[in-house]
Structure 1
Amino acid sequence: MVDWAAAATAGATAIATTAGTELWKDLHTRLKTWFTKLGGRKADKALQRLDATATEIESSPEDQGVRDKAKSTWQTRFEVFLDDLEDDERDALAQELLELARKAEQEQAGAGAVAGDHGMAVAGDVNVTAKDHGIAVAHNEGGINMGNPLQPRRAKKD
């Protein structure tokens, strides 16, 4: 008997971690095949939701909260899909989902560090250096001002 809750978690993790990366297309293709085994309407709806999830992650690639929400949502969806099946079919599809997630995990490991747009993924050391009055920044969420700082105003003496 396959642990289908673990399969749901693995599938959801694969979606949350590969969406917005170069590995997404392969996972999407494999999930499309998996969804077709659920039947026409369910498969169509699942694919629409999968595409919407990918779009949401791609629009906020640096927001871990978006990926966490996607993982939680898809874990629940996979659990519902699997729960609606008969035992033998559930075991077979749960096993396929585990294999699909395992393959995605292997591809991620083989690809080295992976990041979405505007992200920085590193497999090793990072050295950031600035020369000739430059600025070296690995991550900046605010502004950078290269001018002289404003001088504080002096209070007038009466």
Structure 2
Amino acid sequence: MLAEALIVLASAAGAAVAQAAGTDAWVGVRERVARIFGRGDASAAQVALVRLDRTAAALDAAEPEQADQLRARLDASWQARFEDLLESLNEADRVVVAGQLQELVTLRSGAVGGASARDGGLTAGGDVDIRAEGGSVAGGVIHGGIRMENPSQPGPVQG
């Protein structure tokens, strides 16, 4: 039986895999996870790569309204895989793999401030200042309200 801390770590690692799929971070996460499962065994690493590729393909093919539910299932699936791996190891190897999983989680959560974007998206690792000119509003999806200071009246339509 795994200690609670290792179960929490496996859960965070599963979430890191599921959240990275389809983002710019995927290649790095994919390679790291394959090394963790491979641990020097090329065939074990290949099995992990096949599973990782299936994960990414499933999320890529999912309808937008089903993607979150699928991601949650994949998150749980990867958590179970990480738990199984940790349980199969002797104490010394478990400590090494736990450290690798912690690095994976830290890298994933620290990548671009924890933000990620799918195709056509944009992420920023710090403050972003977006300005509009001529009384317009600049933004994409706005959660919350908009406060305009000294709004000017729109000018004539230009065309």
Give me the TM-score of the superposition, normalised by structure 1. Answer: 0.67
- The root-mean-square deviation of aligned C-alpha atoms, in Å, is 3.2
* Structure-2 residue corresponding to 1:149: none
**Which residue among 5, 21, 26 is the counterpart of 2:23?**
21
**Aligned-pair identity (%):** 29
Of 63, 74, 79, 2:78 maps to: 74
Which stretch shows the higher mean deviation, 85-94 or 57-66?
57-66
Q: 1:64 aligns to what?
A: 68
Higher relative CO (CA 8 A, sep ≥ 6), structure 1 or 2?
Answer: 1
1:86 aligned to which of 80, 87, 90: 90
Shift of 1:93: 0.4
Q: What amino acid is aligned across from residue 109 of structure 2 in structure 1?
A: E
Distance (whole Å) between structure 1 residues aligned to residue 122 and residue 29 of structure 2: 22
* Mapped contact 2:22–2:59 kept (Cα < 8 A): yes
Opposite residue 26 of structure 1, the aligned amino acid is G
Structure 2: which amino acid aligns with 1:42?
A
Deviation at 1:10, TM superposition (A): 1.7
Q: Cα deviation per residue 1:19-38 (whole Å; 9 max; x = unaligned)?
A: 10111111112222222217
Gaps of 5+ in 2: 131-139, 142-159
Give the TM-score normalised by structure 2: 0.66
Structure number with higher helix proportion: 2
Q: 1:85 to 1:61 in 2, by over 3 A?
A: farther
Gaps of 5+ in 1: 127-136, 139-158
Q: Distance in 2 between matches of 1:38 and 1:83?
A: 18
Secondary structure in 2 aligned to 1:21?
coil
Larger radius of gyration: 1
